[in-house]
């Protein structure tokens, strides 16, 4: 896979799920992409779209 960077945080537990696509679209939060996280758990994500945010 070319162009894929994976960063791992080792010192402690970091529960955030983070994704950056093409340096333009990014999401950070605790939501797992399943029905329970969206419907039952009080979890949320922040989604940002913009040229400078996901760099």
What is the distance between the alpha carbons of residues 28 and 13, in angstroms, rounded to a whole number? 15
Host H or E run for residue 28: strand 25-29
Structure tokens at 2: 């070319």
Mean per-residue pLDDT of the chain: 79
Give residue 54's pLDDT.
66
Per-residue pLDDT tens digits for 14-39: 677 888 888 888 888 888 878 777 78
Q: Are 48 and 29 in contact (CB under 8 A)?
A: no
> CA-CA distance, 2 to 25, in Å (whole number)?
19
Place of tokens 């994500």: 45
pLDDT exceeds cutoff 80 at 12: no
Global confidence as pTM: 0.56
């Amino acid at each position: 896979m070319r162009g894929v960077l994976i960063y791992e945080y080792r010192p402690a537990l970091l529960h955030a799920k983070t994704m950056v696509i093409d340096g333009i679209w990014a999401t950070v939060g605790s939501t797992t992409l399943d029905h329970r996280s969206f419907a039952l758990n009080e979890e949320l994500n922040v989604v940002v779209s913009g040229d400078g945010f996901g760099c």
